[in-house]
Amino acid sequence: MKPPADGRRILPEFTYEQLEKLFAEWGEPSYRAKQVWEWVYKHLADDFQAMTNLPKALRQRLGGEFILSPLEPVEELVSEDGSTRKVLFRLQDGETIESVLMLYPKRRTVCISTQVGCPIGCAFCATGKSGFKRNLRAGEIIAQVLHFAREMKPQVNRDEKPITNVVVMGMGEPFLNYDATLHAIRTLNDHRGFNLGARRFTISTVGIVPGIRRLAKEGLQVELAVSLHAPNDELRDRLVPINKGYPLKRLMVACREYIEQTNRRITFEYVLIDRVNDSIRHARELAALIGGMLCHVNLIAMNPVPGVPYGPPPRRRVLAFEEELRRLGISVTLRAGRGVDIQAGCGQLRLRELSKRGAADVKA
């Protein structure tokens, strides 16, 4: 369903209480909010006319003032094994974002974006190469999950959730769009609608210390992942420029405080880059940095990115790094690569689309 660019508001942007207030202002009974909420989040309606227990006049008014999705799919790539689907969406203002659906034997995970582009500029990331445009609205974040839920609903049993997990690991830094990100999670977690358990959400941050401290006070049992990628400041300054503002010592203090306040484990994400951060010495530095913490390390061999002068290490070096962490008592998982054949790494599809657009502009 192509979203209009006519100024209509995004209905999933509204909280349940805001819907109740809206219908009260319209002179409608309060139960209309419950009906619409269930159509959007339980029945996954993509058209107001499908909301058959609403009066026709109300459906028409809703359709005249709101849209159910601000996303237009413009390109979809499916991995050869069918386990990964990546979609490039166009927003109402013409900007584009990416989302990924990953299918596992018992899980259906959506990786969503929170910004158009990214301001962090990590040296090995495609998203940063496309620059930063703006934060996403809460409705634009929610709509990514609902899009894939609609796709998966016919393929699962009635008592199964079409989406089982949401990882906020796509384009952008979620803690630089904190309010919209938490709004989206609370909406999708709401038991009256989509009802996805809080522990089914993972928020990934590059290490925005104020965001980590703020999340610790939310009372939400979401999972927190911190993208580390280097065990010392000299290397991390080069790979993750935000480290100059939030160096490792400060970041580790915030992580330890988070664990102490929430009693929840942190996952440290570590992208292995050939001959940059993948030596046994780096593994030992990493173990010394996080040793004694309630944490887990998620090792990821880098996805190749056109135009980026880095690549994945050979398999033997990846396995040696993993084994050294285990030897030193660190809980670690080596994440299986997915979607390499469809450029599933963050930002690659959007970067390609922007390159095409730029080439077309030059020709014109």
Q: Which residues are marked as active site?
A: 98, 346
DSSP 3-state of 121: coil
Nearest-angstrom CA–CA distance, 270 and 330: 13
Cβ neighbours around 193 below 10 Å, total: 19
Contact call for residues 286 and 328 (beta carbons, < 8 A): no
Q: Which two tokens stand for residue 97?
A: 């974002």
Phi, psi of 262 (to 5 degrees): -105, -20
- Give whole-number Cα distances, 328 to 51, 225, 319, 332, in Å: 57, 21, 14, 11
Cβ neighbours around 137 below 10 Å, total: 20
Q: Which two tokens stand for residue 243?
A: 């480290």
Q: Which two tokens stand for residue 241?
A: 């420029």
Nearest-angstrom CA–CA distance, 212 and 223: 11
**Residues counted in the chain:** 364
The strand pair at 84-90 and 72-78 is best described as antiparallel
Residue 331 burial (CB < 10 Å; 0-12/13-18/19+)?
A: middle
Sign of the torsion formed by the C-alpha atoms of 123, 129, 132 and 135: negative
Q: What is the DSSP letter of 130?
A: T
The strand pair at 108-111 and 165-168 is best described as parallel
H/E element holding 254? helix 248-262
Tokens 């689309």 found at: 353
The strand pair at 66-67 and 223-227 is best described as unpaired
Q: Which among 249, 255, 324 has a CA at the least distance from the CA of 287?
A: 324
Contact call for residues 209 and 224 (beta carbons, < 8 A): no
